[in-house]
Amino acid sequence: MGLSVDNIVKKYGENTVVDHLSFEMNEPGVFALLGTNGAGKTTSIRIILGMLAADGGEVTWDGKRFLAAEKPVGYLAEERGLYPKYKIIDQLVYFCTLRGMNKEGALKTLDYWFERLNVTEYKQKRAEQLSKGNQQKMQLIAALAPNPELIVLDEPLSGLDPVNAELFKSVIREEIKQNKYIIMSSHQMATIEEFCKDIVMLNKGKTVLQGNLNTIKKGYGRVKLTVKAEGDITQLARECELTVTEDTPNGTSFNVKSEEQAHRLLKMIMDNKIPLIKYELREPSLNEIFIEKAGDKNEG
Amino acid sequence: MRAKGWRNVFSFTFLQYIKTKSFIVGNIIICVIVAAICVLTNVLPVAMSGSDSSDVGDENDPGTEVSDFFKAGEVSLFDEVEILAKDDKSTLSEIFKDRFSEPQSSLDDVVEELKTTEAMKIAVQITARTDKDGKVTGYEVRSYYSSAAKGSVDELNGVVEELINRRILLNAGVSPEKYEDTQVSVFTSKTEAGGKNLNSIQGMINYALPMLVSIVLFMFIFTYGSVVAQSIATEKTSRVMELLLTSVRPLAVVIGKVLAMGLVSFLQFFLMIGVGAASFAISSPFGWMSKAAELLKNPEIQDALSQMGQSGGTIGAVAGVSSSDIEIAQTMNEFTKVFTPFNIATIIVIFILGFLFFSLIAALIGASVSRMEDLQAAMSPYSLIGVFGMYLAYFPVIFNADALQSGDGSVNPVQLFSYYCPISSPFALPGAVMVGTISPMNVLISVLVLAVFVVLIAIVVSKVYEAIILHNGNRIKFGDIIKMAVRK
């Protein structure tokens, strides 16, 4: 059963910021909510979490109306928020008790998380005394400590150094192993590809792409060709009716209409005895799909 | 269900607020000030009356006293109408010794000298005022002083005035022995038939207490309402609110915060009263309160007080006790009657309702801003309502001083309006209840009016709060909030 988002709509005046968004999470895993800035991701998350009332549609959990305030949800917001003047331990215990934990249980769980994220030494400090990265760790702890079944991570890795980004990723992997339902919103497509099975891509509130990530990629087929050779292949590419999309020291990239078109170019390179260094025919990356679906429509 | 979790918000807000340095330091300072005021109010009158009695001169002294400062000065007398006799001038000579003179030079010359001298010198000119027939209708004492003698000139004028009054009576045939008998004061007062017969201290309390109470309540209710707005705006602008709203509904946040700050303000209010009472108790052996308590043990005073009846009244002379002491005992006796269970309950209820009224408005305003810089501008309507309400409670008391001091129990129309208007009643009602210028039935009506408005604001809050708390961007104006509530 899990989480079901059914046709939710949100309007501000004449502007529709979420336009009939629907998706389902029937089993644990990571679900990606993608879109450019202003696409309606954060509004959608707020509606799913019950912070904002939708103008239409509904969100259910196991078939019943879902209200985050009534079911513990872990939420790491894009714009981080902690009380700057209060001690970390005090505010984290507060957030845990708001989600139904008792104080003793909260303290015990928090000790585990402080150690897991290497921030035990900061627990008695005020939030304003912490670096941005450590504040982010505290927020992740606030989201995960109550052991919620549903976790919403809005740009979880933004602003982190590679070491801490890896630490966050390892924590996310652990949560996946514990069969959590995770909604992740990020502009880092590599991260999404690393974790997510299903995606929804929004553009100006409308769903422009939706489904299983592997299926979507397979649907596109192997249409991305990259070739690196020791001689000039541009003339050969023209003869195969291929247009260059990118030319870098790592090779020349083309969009191909079919695999046969790519094979034809390979045959011509071989026939002309041009030494070949790299020949890669692959499905488009999520980043390329994202730019194709959202990029040209968001030039403003 | 919409307010589930408010207890967590309440306890966290309360505990975090009372742990802040500014709150602790602020309270210590307030307690010290309150204690100092209470100790001084208790002890000073007794100390001053003690020093007054020690300064009384001997029987031959016509009441003339001079300060230490003035004892070093020089006095020149120009009695142009020769009202003062030789004896009077001798009195001045006794006080000022060789520093008193009747110079032969002109007044103008002496005044000219006073302009430049650094010594403390005063030249006193006595002239007469007459009618068209040349009959004396009064005397005028004009003193010219050097800058160094500025602080003592009124005192010297008083001495000369008293000497002239004494001489007039002696010239009219009053014997020196009988002169002291003429030196008694006449006090006047007025009481409307059926009104309370108040002594002068009670009259003063009746007038000053409502004003003092309105200012103190304004400080607590208004200030802590602002703290609610600031706290909510901080949570919203620091994005903590988003985290909170994954656990509780917005209404629970408002209720928790408002009640927490209400408790803080309530406790601080009673802390002040407690510190004040303790200060009075500690300084009691040296102050007028212990004196009043002692007097109230006097069986004769107890009898007299018990015979005064409901309308109050001034008790007559009691052997061995001065009238002013009886007034103190009477005031103490009447003041203790103010703290009836009904009055205390009423004041607490008004305090709570008043706090809810203002803090709910403040909560809405705090939720309407997206940046802390906007909060001050957004709070303008709140400040306007609060300050106007306080003035509405405060100024009618000043304009009704006569009735309040005379105890006739009447209130002017503006004062009456301030008891029923919800923006002023939290500041006006408690004082009115304490001095008895409002009947229990009217108290009930006033409390009901305030309660209805609190409920109305609570309805507005519950309707629009969820919509505005996550609004980011331009500040939502107060008028827009009201429109939003009406539409819903």
The residue of chain A nearest to residue B253, with distances taken between CA atoms, is A98
Domains assigned to chain A: 3-217 (3.40.50.300), 222-282 (3.30.70.1150)
Same domain, B176 and B202: no
Same domain, B149 and B235: no
| Helix/strand/coil for B31 | helix
How far apart are the CA of B213 and the nearest CA of chain A, in angstroms? 34
Residue B53 lies in a domain: no
Chosen from A51, A80, A88, A97 to mutate, greatest number of chain B CBs within 10 A: A51
Same domain, B203 and B178: no
**CB spacing of A49 vs B244 below 8 angstroms:** no
CA distance B478 to B380: 10
Same domain, B174 and B213: no
Asked which of A6-10, A219-223, B140-144 is least confident by mean pLDDT, the reply is: A219-223
Q: What is the pLDDT of residues B125-176, one digit of tens each?
A: 999 998 888 888 999 999 999 888 887 888 888 889 989 999 999 998 888 8
Q: Beta partners for B335? A: none
Residue B293 lies in a domain: yes
User: What pLDDT score was predicted for residue B14?
Assistant: 93
B454: confidence class by pLDDT, cuts 50, 70, 90: very high
DSSP string, B325-343: HHHHHHHHHHHHHH--HHH
Q: What is the mean pLDDT of chain A?
A: 89
Q: Please give the average per-residue pLDDT across B68-76, as a whole number.
A: 72
Measured between beta carbons, the chain B residues lying within 8 angstroms of A72 are: 247
Q: What is the pLDDT of residues B397-440, one digit of tens each?
A: 877 777 666 666 677 788 889 999 999 999 999 888 888 778 88
Same domain, B137 and B210: no
Residue B192 lies in a domain: no
Query: From the list A68, A94, A142, which residue is nearest B12 (CB)?
Result: A94
Which single residue is written with the structure tokens 């160094």?
A: B148
Which single residue is written with the structure tokens 């709070």?
A: B379
The residue of chain B nearest to residue A68, with distances taken between CA atoms, is B246
Same domain, B147 and B113: yes
In 3D space, the residue among B177, B195, B78, B81 whose CA is nearest the CA of residue B134 turns out to be B81
Measured between beta carbons, the chain A residues lying within 8 angstroms of B240 are: 81-83
B239 CB within 8 Å of a chain A CB = yes
How far apart are the CA of A139 and the nearest CA of chain B, in angstroms? 9
Same domain, B22 and B120: no
**Final residue before a domain boundary, out of B182, B216, B248:** B182
How far apart are the CA of B192 and the nearest CA of chain A, in angstroms? 60
How far apart are the CA of B246 and the nearest CA of chain A, in angstroms? 5
B370 CB within 8 Å of a chain A CB = no
Same domain, B283 and B430: yes
Query: From the list B5, B16, B243, which residue is nearest A142 (CB)?
Result: B243
Is the pLDDT confidence value at B370 over 90? no
User: What pLDDT score was predicted for residue B328?
Assistant: 72
Same domain, B83 and B211: no
Q: What is the pLDDT of residues B236-285, one digit of tens each?
A: 887 888 888 888 888 888 889 889 988 998 888 889 888 988 887 787 77
Residue B55 lies in a domain: no
Same domain, B257 and B324: yes
**Final residue before a domain boundary, out of B158, B182, B206:** B182
Higher per-residue confidence, A115 vs B205: A115
Task: Kindly list the strands in the beta sheet with A3-12, ordered across the sheet, starting from the edge strand earlier in the chain.
Answer: A15-25, A3-12, A56-61, A64-65
Measured between beta carbons, the chain A residues lying within 8 angstroms of B230 are: none
Q: What is the ipTM of this complex?
A: 0.80
Residue B246 lies in a domain: yes
What the block records as the tokens of A149 is 């079944």
Q: What range does the domain containing B435 cover?
A: 6-44+197-487
A253, A246 Cβ separation under 8 angstroms: yes
User: What pLDDT score was predicted for residue A142?
Assistant: 94
Query: From the list B4, B8, B238, which residue is nearest A83 (CB)?
Result: B238
CA distance A205 to B293: 78
User: What pLDDT score was predicted for residue B156?
Assistant: 86
The number of folded domains in chain B is: 2
Same domain, B209 and B127: no
Is the pLDDT confidence value at B312 over 70? no
Chosen from B10, B246, B466 to mutate, greatest number of chain A CBs within 10 A: B246
Residue B189 lies in a domain: no
B45: confidence class by pLDDT, cuts 50, 70, 90: low
Same domain, B109 and B204: no
CA distance B10 to B356: 14
CA distance A89 to A106: 10
